[in-house]
């Protein structure tokens, strides 16, 4: 499985809580930005989903925190496909400290591809499914 960089950023002081470290809502925010870059990389850009009248819906999200992040810390998120099904993908984000590479948090997502009109899960487009499978097989 290939890990692709999907987000780079910095921890701003205004993103920190009363403990002085990155507040959990901003871990989620950074993982969300990584998700949109990940979707675009596999062929599910916001524009393509709008044109297809489709989208993705998160059905499960699990976050594990491994290390605190403080103002000025840089972060890099690497993403990889864990599982591919007809209408569902499961993928992982790993947030690392930009300077040391140390793991700070992981986020495992399960999402379904949805038809906006029927509001039901539908199969991924063939090209997206092929890209996902290549990523899973380590050929992407």
User: For the chain, which residues make up each domain, given as ranges?
Assistant: 4-137
State pLDDT tens for residues 81-121. 999 999 999 999 999 999 999 999 999 999 999 999 999 99
Q: What percent of the chain has pLDDT over 90?
A: 86
The answer to whether the beta carbons of residues 97 and 74 sit under 8 Å apart is yes
The answer to whether the beta carbons of residues 121 and 87 sit under 8 Å apart is yes
pTM: 0.92
Sign of the alpha-carbon dihedral angle for 70, 71, 77, 83 = positive
Superfamily of domain 4-137: Hotdog Thioesterase (3.10.129.10)
Eight-class DSSP state of 118: T
């Amino acid at each position: 499985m290939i890990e692709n960089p999907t987000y780079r950023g910095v921890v701003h002081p205004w993103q920190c809580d009363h403990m002085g470290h990155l507040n959990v809502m901003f871990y989620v925010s950074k993982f969300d930005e990584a998700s949109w870059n990940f979707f675009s990389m596999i062929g599910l850009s916001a524009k393509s989903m709008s044109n297809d009248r489709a989208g993705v819906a998160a059905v499960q999200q699990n976050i594990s925190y491994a290390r605190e992040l403080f103002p000025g810390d840089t972060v890099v998120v690497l993403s990889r496909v864990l599982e591919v099904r007809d209408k569902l993908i499961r993928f992982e984000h790993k947030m690392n400290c930009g300077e040391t590479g140390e793991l700070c948090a992981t986020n495992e997502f399960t999402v379904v591809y949805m038809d906006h009109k029927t509001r039901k899960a539908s199969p991924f487009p063939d090209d997206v499914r092929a890209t996902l499978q290549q990523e899973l097989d380590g050929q992407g």
